[in-house]
Amino acid sequence: MGHKSFQNPEKYLPLVQNSTINGNGQGATRKCKVQLGDQSFTVNETLRAVDDSNKSLIISLDKAPSPMQGLEFQYKISPSDNKSDLEISTEIADSPEMEQMMRGYYQ
């Protein structure tokens, strides 16, 4: 995944069943059909920022189940020997509901 890629999240997030994109670059929107355990839902996202020099992008979750709606995630790619590292960060409220949701999202 290049740092500008907003396409095909189903390739690196198995819980995403499929996705569609409207637009290109900063301001583009994406709709993802998600299967998380026995829950199926749609997440609408916006590509808020692309930083070429830092190889990073920020994606906001505009429509998602609580407690995820309104979150922003920063994705940053860093070189590491003969590979690349992907760092994902966000700021979230500390709650059991959020912890359970995030564990399911990234495991």
**β-pairing, 56-63 with 72-80?**
antiparallel
What band does 2 get if pLDDT is binned at 50, 70 and 90? very low
Residue 1: the pLDDT is: 42
pLDDT (tens digit per residue) in 23-71: 988 999 999 999 988 889 999 999 999 998 999 999 999 999 877 888 8
Which is it for strands 29-36 and 56-63: parallel, antiparallel or unpaired? unpaired
pLDDT of residue 100: 73
* pLDDT: which is higher, 46 or 98: 46
Q: What's the CATH fold of domain 9-106?
A: Alpha-D-Glucose-1,6-Bisphosphate; Chain A, domain 4 (3.30.530)
Q: Locate the domains of the chain by residue range.
A: 9-106
Give me the pLDDT at residue 19, please. 96
Contact 9, 32 (CB under 8 A): yes
Predicted TM-score (pTM) of the model is 0.77
* For residue 16, pLDDT beyond 90: yes
